[in-house]
Amino acid sequence: MTDILDKYAPIASRHDQLLEVGPDPLGVCLEEIYSATEARVNGRRTILAGTNNYMGVTFEPDCLEAAEAAVRAHGTGTTGSRIANGTYGAHLALEQALARFMGREKAIVFSTGYQANLGMIAGLAGPKDVILLDADSHSSIYDGCRLSGATLVRFRHNDPADLDKRLARLGDEGESRLIIIEGIYSMLGDRAPVAEFAEVKRKHGAYLLVDEAHSLGVMGPNGRGAAEAEGVDEDVDFYVGTFSKSLGSIGGFGASNHPRFDVLRVCSRPYMFTASPSPANVAAALAALKLLERDPGRRDRLWNNAQAIYDRLTRIGFEICAPMSPIIAIRLPDERSAVFAWNRLLEHGVYVNLALPPGTPAGVYLLRCSVSAAHTPEQVEAFCHRFELVARELAAMDSGETAVAAGA
């Protein structure tokens, strides 16, 4: 019989190749966390610019205190699902706060953002429906689509005309049609043209679901995300969001004005058959949400930092994949230079994400940076300066100098 893990041999051997040139990019250990923007990595004080901590709230006193008080008051875990083992008052309070924040009648919390997509998509769509999803959708969206059993139609990334064409081609197929897009795409940091998608949705009478994972708190006058920023908040039938980025916690949610939205609580398997979010996570998310409502200036600090970094990296000569946003994806010409640059940045005390195929499209090698409102001007300066050093090292590598590898 074949070894059950043999199918992963090609992936394992690519991973081994990465380990030959430096520390494991898929297993970076944050040995001690000093703040939202700094940790000890490989024994070195390191600026964190790859953690999606957009609002930098993970060490906010309000959030820490709320989480600590919740653990003392409600315990370390919920030990079960809400339908089988009971809802905590804090789950309801958070759902009400999220509904208010998103301007919706109802919100439902899930245990992670991944499960929010699974639970929302597989809860909404069934085998008789058609889902139209952006080709660059996050894995949790693809997995939710599979779980739903619906017919899947992929349209070209960020291309409302292609969606329009595919909807027209459907004819009578599908009892309901659900369009799925993201506000800001996690890898390249590009934004969806939500207003154009909303127009297509209206034309065809489809439902629109927007995953605002990376845009929640980041975009829009009230921080609802990209749809709100484009003035088409009302066209969104279903929002999905996560607590793991701007809210500095773990969990996810769906929000909607659909009058029968709550039926998902007894029909959506990823809601029903897993433990509900822990008291600490719920309390931290609620405290962060209140903080964002109280202090919209955080959003300005985030965008100012993103602009400063974007401008400087562009001046250095890096190719950035999308217009300025808090996700800055730098494209390098090949895998060797991407891995080299990522390793050197880590040695210089800067942590960003290394993104290679198959996580990215074929031929796309990225250093993905996520900017935080909590990055100080000194950290922004240090971060940019270290990119300058690495740009020089890359240039030296290109011209065949080997001194760099010795730590010049």
Other CB atoms within 10 Å distance of the CB of residue 237: 19
Specify the amino acid at residue 83. Answer: I
- Measured CA to CA, the distance from residue 4 to residue 138 in angstroms comes to 27
Indicate whether 252 belongs to the interface with ligand PMP (CB under 6 A): yes
Q: Give the whole-angstrom CA distance, residue 232 versus residue 226.
A: 9
Residues 6+ apart with CB under 8 A from 263: none
Pure H helices in 216-278: 226-229, 269-272
Residue 119 or residue 174: which is nearer to ligand PMP going by CB? 119
* Measured distance CA(403)–CA(407) in Å, rounded: 7
| 110 makes contact with ligand PMP (CB under 6 A) | no
Based on the residue annotation, tell me whether 128 is a catalytic residue of this protein: no
Angle at 55 between CA 54 and CA 60, to 5 degrees: 135
Q: Is 136 in the site for ligand PMP (CB under 6 A)?
A: no
Among residues 36, 57, 63, 213, which is the contact residue for ligand PMP, using CB under 6 A?
213
Only one residue has tokens 């001690």, namely 32
If one asks whether residue 211 binds ligand PMP (CB under 6 A), the answer comes out as yes
Scanning residues 230 to 249, which ones bind ligand PMP (CB under 6 A)? 242, 244
Answer yes or no: 214 catalytic: yes
**Cβ proximity of 360 and 326 under 8 Å:** no
Q: Which of 137, 148, 186, 244 is catalytic?
A: 186
State the nearest-atom distance from the C-beta of 265 to ligand PMP, in Å.
19
Quick one: which of 151, 158, 163 has its CA closest to 137?
Answer: 158
Active-site residue flag, 138: no
Nearer to ligand PMP, 97 or 170 (CB): 97
Quick note: the x/- pattern for ligand PMP over 137-166, rule CB under 6 A, is -x-x--------------------------
Q: Which of residues 144 and 279 has its CB atom nearest to ligand PMP in the complex?
A: 144
Stretch that binds ligand PMP, among 69-77, 107-115, 161-169, 194-202 (CB under 6 A): 107-115
Name the residues that contact ligand PMP, by CB under 6 A: 112-114, 117, 138, 140, 182, 186, 211, 213-214, 242, 244, 252
